[in-house]
Amino acid sequence: MKKPFPFYPPFLAIFPVLGVYLVNTGIFPIADLWRPLAIAFGAGAALWLLLSALFQSLEKGALVTAVLTAAFWLFGAIAGRLAFLGSPGQTIVYAGLALGAGWWLTRLRPPTQFLNRATVFLILLSGGQIAWHWLKPVHTHVTATSGSAKKVEGRPPDIFYIILDGYGREDELKKNLNFDNEPFISRLRSLGFYVPTENHSNYCQTAISLASSLNLDYISNLAPDQGRNQKDRDALNNLVNDSRLERTLRERGYTTFAITTGFPAFVFPHAGVRMEGPQSQTLFEATLARMTPLAGQSGGNQSMFDYRRKMLLAAFEALDTMQKPTTRPRFVFAHILAPHPPFVFTADGTPRKGKKGPFGYWDGSDFMTYVGTPEDYREGYVGQIQYLNKLVTETAQALLSTSGTKPIIVLQGDHGSKLHLDQNDISKTNLNECFSNLLAIHAPDSVRERLYPQITPVNIFRVILSAIFGDDLPQLEDRSFYSPFEFPFRFEEVKFLPDEPIAKSVPKGK
């Protein structure tokens, strides 16, 4: 009987890549998948050929390749039990165990046919689910603005919507991080910004918050088909990438400029101009690397921190160039992933030294689990926000220095700081901290006179579009909702009283 050909090694090597992507499809774009797949497939095939030559057997080479491949991908999950040996000893002992297991298995008859079939099953299962995820329809409800808009004389003002991710309100920064942000707030007010003092975000997760504010409505109305047990975030990402606000302004002759700084799900396909620096390693690749012995290579980890610094600086450089007037009005959306972790700047803008932990965008309780201590968070956040204040002030001054019609500038935290947030448990969360966000608006008097201290993001552009263009956009009730990270549509309404946040569940669909 003819022996089956052992084709499984390179395909087994790509299964972890598919598996990790499958459970994060709402976070990483499909384009991030191809390079890791190609590298894993090529490495698996090369190792198989090398070991087959060493053992003078395709079957034995394939079996040892399978063992070493599994050991490579399981390093992060298993090697931690050997942490008492130190970094070099941990890796050496783990590698020795993997090689020993592979050598022992060469003495057995390789189950080639079983491994071929099992590998095909795993690849088809994971690959099929990924394909279905991207091919299935996602239903969201985005309505058009009222057609009763008034005609604007001359060129409408440029609109800058600058999201400072995780930037908290002045009073809560003082209470929770012992940081006095009054000089920065005073500077904004001296530049003509309206800075409310009782405002909150509508949601405390980035994708949910921006999906709501960019579409001028609550998620229960925008994505009513998403049940409370839904984990998929595609509906949210679609609402951000194809928003009511962008559509409305595009119809009014605006060109959209999208400036992003690393949040992988935000791609803004309809923007006239997209700005993001070239990325040597994607966040998905960094996630994969953390599972393997490569996580211990400080060079790769450090390069991600260095790249993040360059990306944040490049975003502000791009904003600074926009002080010059253009013939067409511009809608500039900038998502600045700071002061949100990872913390890469000190107060004077130099690279943050010392303990940084692995590279990742973990916040709240996830930061405490994977990166560091509450004191690490406090120290990193305060340093980063001080340098961010300098960059924001310089950018605001540059944008407002233009002659002629002044731009409308909205500086907004999508949520507050998260030192005391539990990603999945509202009872362990300081709701005042994580919902109290920075908001500063520079706008004409026709807009400013409609603003009020308790305004939330869902109403910001209802006010602006109504005042500038005469759109029929009634103010919505200002409400806030917490949801667990695992179940983003499982909303619980949050009511705020002075120093006493009260949360209560709301019915499904609210």
pLDDT digits (tens, 9 = 90+) for 162-191: 999 999 999 999 999 999 999 999 999 999
**Predicted pLDDT at 80:** 61
**Predicted pLDDT at 20:** 87
Cα–Cα distance measured from residue 443 to residue 317, given in angstroms and rounded to the nearest whole number: 23
pTM of structure: 0.76
Percentage of the chain beyond pLDDT 90 is: 53
278 φ, ψ (degrees, to nearest 5): -65, 135
Residue with more model confidence, 477 or 234: 477
- CA-nearest of 19, 33, 49, 18 to 283 is 33
Average pLDDT of span 211-224: 95
Q: Is the pLDDT of residue 285 over 90?
A: no
- State the burial class of residue 418 (Cβ atoms within 10 Å of its Cβ: 0-12, 13-18, 19+): buried
Q: How confident is the model at residue 509 (pLDDT cuts 50, 70, 90)?
A: very low
Sole residue written with tokens 């499904």: 508
pLDDT digits (tens, 9 = 90+) for 309-355: 988 999 999 898 888 777 789 999 999 999 999 999 999 999 987 66
Query: What separation, in Å, do the N-terminal and C-terminal C-alpha atoms of the chain show?
Result: 64
**Predicted pLDDT at 217:** 97
Structure tokens at 142: 């985005």
Residue with more model confidence, 259 or 265: 259
pLDDT digits (tens, 9 = 90+) for 363-418: 999 999 989 999 999 999 999 999 999 999 999 999 999 877 899 999 999 999 99
Q: Is the pLDDT of residue 424 over 50?
A: yes
By the 8 A CB rule, do 416 and 437 touch? yes
By the 8 A CB rule, do 159 and 331 touch? yes
Q: Is the pLDDT of residue 306 over 60?
A: yes
Q: Is the pLDDT of residue 234 over 60?
A: yes
Cα–Cα distance measured from residue 237 to residue 241, given in angstroms and rounded to the nearest whole number: 6
Q: Is the pLDDT of residue 241 over 60?
A: yes
By the 8 A CB rule, do 338 and 384 touch? yes
CATH 3.40.50.620 for domain 159-225+233-505, yes or no, is no
pLDDT digits (tens, 9 = 90+) for 97-125: 666 665 666 666 778 888 899 999 999 99
Query: Taking the mean position of all CA atoms in its chain, how far away is CA 254?
Result: 26
* Residue 491 DSSP one-character state: -
Q: Is the pLDDT of residue 90 over 50?
A: yes
Q: Length of the chain in residues, anyone?
A: 510
- State the burial class of residue 487 (Cβ atoms within 10 Å of its Cβ: 0-12, 13-18, 19+): middle
Q: In whole numbers, what is the pLDDT of the chain averaged over residues?
A: 85
Residue type for 256, please? T
Residue type for 188, please? L
Q: How confident is the model at residue 88 (pLDDT cuts 50, 70, 90)?
A: low
Average pLDDT of span 60-89: 74
Domain ranges within the chain, ordered by starting residue: 8-135, 159-225+233-505
Average pLDDT of span 147-161: 74
- CA-nearest of 281, 482, 276, 485 to 363 is 485
Q: How confident is the model at residue 21 (pLDDT cuts 50, 70, 90)?
A: confident
Percentage of the chain beyond pLDDT 70 is: 82
**Predicted pLDDT at 129:** 87
Q: Is the pLDDT of residue 467 over 60?
A: yes
